[in-house]
Structure 1
Amino acid sequence: MDIAALKAAASDDLKQGWTVTKAGQVKGDNGEIYKHRYVLALKKILMGIN
């Protein structure tokens, strides 16, 4: 379950109208949700687990 949650968080198919920038930042209608490299870091962690 934990790994599935991380994969969903790192997915480019985000719900809630969020977008992921090329820098790995997650943005919503009101600005930044997660800082630069957030999604990139999650993907790097997941690559190490698999």
Structure 2
Amino acid sequence: MRERLDEPTEDRNPLGEFFAVRDEPSSQKSTFTPAEVAEIIRRDRDASE
């Protein structure tokens, strides 16, 4: 199951923590840094406009 980037991630994770499953077994989760999260959100917003 993947995180949906069009949801208000900042509101759910005020500390900038963001967990997402990439193309890995479900037991392995990747942690994105706040900078990576901001870039992902920015890219997603730009794409949706």
Fold shared, TM-score > 0.5 on shorter chain = no
Which of structures 1 and 2 has the larger relative contact order (alpha carbons within 8 angstroms, sep 6+)?
2
More strand by share: 1
